[in-house]
Structure 1
Amino acid sequence: MKFSRRHFLKFTAAGVAASVVGPIGLDLTPEQAASLAARRQSGTLRIAWNPTFTLDPLSASADSEISFLNAVYDYLIDTDAQSALVPRLASEWAISDDGLAYTLKIREGVKFHDGSDLTVDDVIWTFNRLKTPETPTGNLYANIESIEAGENNSVVFKLTNTNPDFLYDLSDNHAVILKAEAPDIGVEFNGTGPFKLAEFLAADRAVFSANTDYWGGAPGVETLEFIYFDDNQAAVDALRGGIVDVAVRMDNATFLALADETGLSSVSLPTNGHDLVRLRSDREPGNNEKVRQAFKLATDRDEIFNRVQLGLGAVGRDSPIGPLFGDYYSEDTPLPARDPEAAKALLAEAGYPDGLDMTLYIPNTGDRPTLGEVLQAQWEEAGIRIQIELQDEATYYGENGWLEVDLGITPWGSRPRPQFYLETSLKTGAVWNESHFSDDELDALIATAGTTLDEQERIDTYKEIQRILIERGPIIVPYFFASLGISAESVQSFNMHPFPGRTNFNTVTIG
């Protein structure tokens, strides 16, 4: 049996009706808001997710965790599928001429689930928490010099240095607004979002009821359920069996098969998300540039894209800056053609005439096991012999996991701007620098890209960053994946976000 007996008995006995998934964002005109508020609520929407590990916004990262937070909380600013900024709790904003002060007007009349009013103090408290040093978000918000209350229910962020992406930073996955001095964060959930938590069984499900007083209009479904499955195939089988209405975690072959099945609808959205193949570079063998170059020469990215992605998404160029970033993306620096013999020669020059024996650690999700198998075959021809160790996500991201091993594959979700990837994963000492890469020239370029207000200078800087990563970086980005979703035909207006956990499930219709 593909899905558990527990899930089958519990949710078929309930006889829950299929419902709908809504579009992302809430950039509504007054007329749209009025229509939304007047819409009749109906039914229960059931989403298949993987279990959550943490629900503290400081550390939540998985789609299921972000989706949970997105249901009960709100952001100051959201982003849509095209990476455009969308007002949420901040209704408007202004930037000072010197680019060092951002004033955001906070919506009035917004209430937390306990009935208390949202205030500027709540926003200030939230971001002071987020910018605390030694937290996962401390580096992202380290540039904030002060946060103060402004005039007319506004909050003023003053920066130490200019940051052309600051409004995007305010929309980061972790930046949901909490009530000041909120107790038991990650256990109690008093938000301003469209749904209120009604029941939570960590290994089983989360049940939310509609917040009929939501500032953006009452959700179109009375109940939202996240049903947790330990593996993606169980979620797919539950979708086929009518146990859930929506599934968004599956491999590419399964998605293409489901897209052709009657009674189901599919959506595929290009993203900036990617699987990062990385070699630890602060110790042998990855601290040798020739070894890093050998891995690149041993890799055929086009074959990987065709065999793993099956045409979904885009081919990568060993940098997190992909085609959807427009002018920031560059093909000026050529990728070396695959040459296993040249890779062997480089390994010999680096002191490994007999090649390398290593373990490749992979989270057992999506198409990553297939990616590992393709890499294993390609690299073996270059004298790089690997053993594959598949791990569940809790193990992979746990202590002595992804940040410690010498060779791994880590999925990075889609972000609207490339600076996030550079600041958090490639800058010296960055919180998630899993390759432990340190390069003075790269660090200087990352700093320039993160502060310059000259757009052409920023474009040129990103091109140089891509050159360095292609020529001597410790990473291989073989592809950018698509955001995939399958829903029951009764689910209409299912508009996924490039980061699936940021898909909003509140503005829905029922067919």
Structure 2
Amino acid sequence: MPHLPIPCASALAALLLLSSQPALAQARTNVAVAASWHVTTLDPATDGYTFQRMGVGETLVDADEAGTLIPGLASEWSTSEDGLTWRFTIRPGVSFHDGSNLDAEKAVASLERALTQPGVLASAPIKSIEAEGGDLVIHLDKPFSPLPALLANYSTMILAPASFAQDGSTVAVIGTGPFRITSVAPPISMEVERFADYWGEPASIETASYISASRAETRTLMIESGDADLAVTLDPAGYRQLSQNDDVTVEVVPIPRTIMMNLNLARPQLADEETRRALSLAIDREGIAAGILGFPQASATQLFPPTLEGWHSHSVVPLAYDPEKAKAILAEVGWEPGADGILARNGERFALTLRTFPNRPELPLIAAAIQDQWRQIGVDLAVSVGNSSDIPAGHQDGTLDIGLFARNYGLTPDPVVNAADDFRSGGGDWGAMNWENPKVDEALAKAVETTNETAREAAVATVVEAVQAEPPIIPIAWYQQTVAHPKALEGVVIDPLERSYGLSKLRWAE
């Protein structure tokens, strides 16, 4: 596969200059996608999400817009009664983009290679992977019910053997999807064309291009100028601007990424549940969602957004904003204002430091808003804006008071793996700190191991209800995915799990 490197400083300008001219000739056959993510490598463990979204690489298991698992390159799957053996039937008649045929042996080789790389498979207790006739069989050391969901993650996409060098490095992305790569110019662009021998329904458009435009305002301008046909992730200003354009459609849906704070429960200020509930009540989520994020509907009433149907509860009491009630609760549990208005209890001043980072520019703004809102109930919150690595580092060495970040619960269609890491006793680097709840530990173990849907639903409900009631973490807002496109581009469907741009379904109006 050819590589066409373009100097980074001038890459975007060059691409826009070139794309603006053939765009007229290809207006009814090509779709140009503008997004914020670079294509830095060909490795599916690192940049596989872009190859998956562009319809190049596919996984054994797929998922629909609701997160329901559906057949992908595996036409069906089953597990043994003891949960230790999973069997995936490889779909017949599938060709890789280099013309070679997919079979169980090639799928095994691709997954075994994925096991050696960073990715979600590391969380599964995989003993071995082997081919048996037309089936790929995975043997486990212990039951692990979310295995099919892990096999829907981009890092497990099935690639042809020619994609990898002898040392295991990726030299090409030769997938099975409806589009095959024709060129890549890291880190800015990629070109794909319709794959004539695709096993499924063929795409309507002939070609598509991907352009990395890191600034949201650039993506907005690209839609207005016609240099992009599908712009993903707009800022509030761009959303409002394009919403007023009669030739453009702007759509928004919640995605399973939550802005949240993890709390160090080893701190005396954060140790008791009532104090944590008061802190949650003192956050104006609707104001933050409307004023900073630009979407009032982004206000989080619980940790998991509606997109994650199995984890979004309709029975828990929604999170609310009530600073007066927050003050009353704090007074009931012994917090009294000092001469400077800051609360104290047993000689301990209610002063903490929140760590966040600027990679997501809304986070420091949200931190400042919470700082002001908590000040009004007597909490002295300092804000430290540094690197994203400061939060897990502070978790590990115990120096973190509070971290503010965005947690992606959609890395797989089933968030149980992330949830198990976040809310087990002690918590993971991006989860609860020093929270101990034996019922939650038991429920998480059950949710990971059982394939009985009734038992699993009960276990998930236990976890969700405990996280809402005891707040070891405090949710702030749910991210919204925004997409803009010309009205003449039909068939656009926003994938809440961010697995696909839906290119194969797109068509230009006659």
Shorter-chain TM range is 0.7 to 0.9
Aligned to 2:422: 425
Please list the CA deviations of residues 442-462 of structure 1 after superposition, one character each: whole Å capped at 9, or x if unmatched: 332211122234434333322
Q: CA 1:213 to 1:352, structure 2 compared with 1: closer, same or farther past 3 Å?
A: farther
Please list the CA deviations of residues 245-274 of structure 1 after superposition, one character each: whole Å capped at 9, or x if unmatched: 111112345324422311111222343332
Name the aligned partner's letter for residue 492 of structure 2: F
- How far off is 1:190 after superposition? 2.4
1:409 is aligned to 2:405: yes
Aligned to 1:45: 32
> Structure with the greater relative contact order (CA < 8 A, sep ≥ 6): 1 or 2?
1
Match 2:221 to one of 230, 237, 244: 237
Aligned to 2:155: 174
- How far off is 1:309 after superposition? 5.2
Matches within 5 A, 1:182-261: 182-183=164-165, 185-186=169-170, 188-252=172-236, 254-261=238-245
Normalized against structure 1, the TM-score is what?
0.79
**Structure-2 separation of matches of 1:188 and 1:399:** 35
Q: SS at 2:196's partner residue?
A: coil
Q: CA 1:299 to 1:491, structure 2 compared with 1: closer, same or farther past 3 Å?
A: same
Match 2:95 to one of 90, 101, 111: 111
1:396 is aligned to 2:396: no
**Structure-2 separation of matches of 1:298 and 1:251:** 26
**Structure-1 separation of matches of 2:391 and 2:260:** 20
Q: CA 1:81 to 1:44, structure 2 compared with 1: closer, same or farther past 3 Å?
A: closer
Judge conservation of contact 1:294–1:343 (CA < 8 Å) in 2. Answer: yes
Matches within 5 A, 1:41-440: 42-53=29-40, 55-60=42-47, 66-71=49-54, 72-131=56-115, 135-142=118-125, 144-151=126-133, 153-180=134-161, 182-183=164-165, 185-186=169-170, 188-252=172-236, 254-280=238-264, 292-293=276-277, 295-308=279-292, 313=297, 315-320=299-304, 322=306, 324-325=308-309, 329-332=313-316, 335=319, 337-338=322-323, 339-341=325-327, 342-343=329-330, 346=335, 348-349=344-345, 352-353=348-349, 355-365=350-360, 367-386=362-381, 396=388, 406-412=402-408, 414=410, 416-428=413-425, 433-439=430-436
**Structure-1 separation of matches of 2:285 and 2:231:** 28
Judge conservation of contact 1:18–1:43 (CA < 8 Å) in 2. Answer: no
Q: CA 1:371 to 1:208, structure 2 compared with 1: closer, same or farther past 3 Å?
A: same
**Structure-2 separation of matches of 1:453 and 1:431:** 24
**Structure-2 separation of matches of 1:285 and 1:482:** 32
Q: SS at 1:506's partner residue?
A: helix
Q: SS at 2:484's partner residue?
A: strand
Judge conservation of contact 2:182–2:192 (CA < 8 Å) in 1. Answer: yes
Rg larger for: 2
Q: SS at 1:478's partner residue?
A: strand
Please list the CA deviations of residues 288-308 of structure 1 after superposition, one character each: whole Å capped at 9, or x if unmatched: 767755542432334434444
**Structure-1 separation of matches of 2:80 and 2:89:** 14
Q: SS at 1:17's partner residue?
A: helix
Please list the CA deviations of residues 73-116 of structure 1 after superposition, one character each: whole Å capped at 9, or x if unmatched: 11112111122223221122334445443322212232323332
Judge conservation of contact 2:216–2:233 (CA < 8 Å) in 1. Answer: yes
Judge conservation of contact 1:103–1:156 (CA < 8 Å) in 2. Answer: yes
**Structure-1 separation of matches of 2:40 and 2:68:** 30
**Structure-2 separation of matches of 1:478 and 1:194:** 38
Name the aligned partner's letter for residue 376 of structure 2: E
| Number of residue-to-residue matches in the alignment | 478
Q: SS at 1:190's partner residue?
A: coil
- How far off is 1:12 after superposition? 3.4
**Structure-2 separation of matches of 1:190 and 1:430:** 38
- How far off is 1:149 after superposition? 1.8
**Structure-1 separation of matches of 2:272 and 2:43:** 39
Aligned to 1:457: 455
Gaps of 5+ in 2: 1-8, 336-342
Q: Which moved more, 1:457-466 or 1:80-89?
A: 457-466
Q: CA 1:242 to 1:388, structure 2 compared with 1: closer, same or farther past 3 Å?
A: farther
**Structure-2 separation of matches of 1:457 and 1:171:** 23
1:17 is aligned to 2:12: no
Name the aligned partner's letter for residue 345 of structure 2: E
Q: SS at 1:479's partner residue?
A: strand
- How far off is 1:351 after superposition? 5.6
1:7 is aligned to 2:3: no
Q: SS at 1:477's partner residue?
A: strand
Q: CA 1:169 to 1:400, structure 2 compared with 1: closer, same or farther past 3 Å?
A: closer
- Cα RMSD of the aligned pairs, angstroms, is 3.7
Please list the CA deviations of residues 182-239 of structure 1 after superposition, one character each: whole Å capped at 9, or x if unmatched: 2254553222223333333333222223333322254333332211122212211222
Name the aligned partner's letter for residue 32 of structure 2: L
Q: SS at 1:277's partner residue?
A: strand
Q: SS at 1:103's partner residue?
A: strand
Name the aligned partner's letter for residue 409 of structure 1: F
Q: SS at 1:325's partner residue?
A: coil
Name the aligned partner's letter for residue 202 of structure 1: P
Aligned to 2:338: none
Aligned to 2:339: none
Aligned to 1:25: none
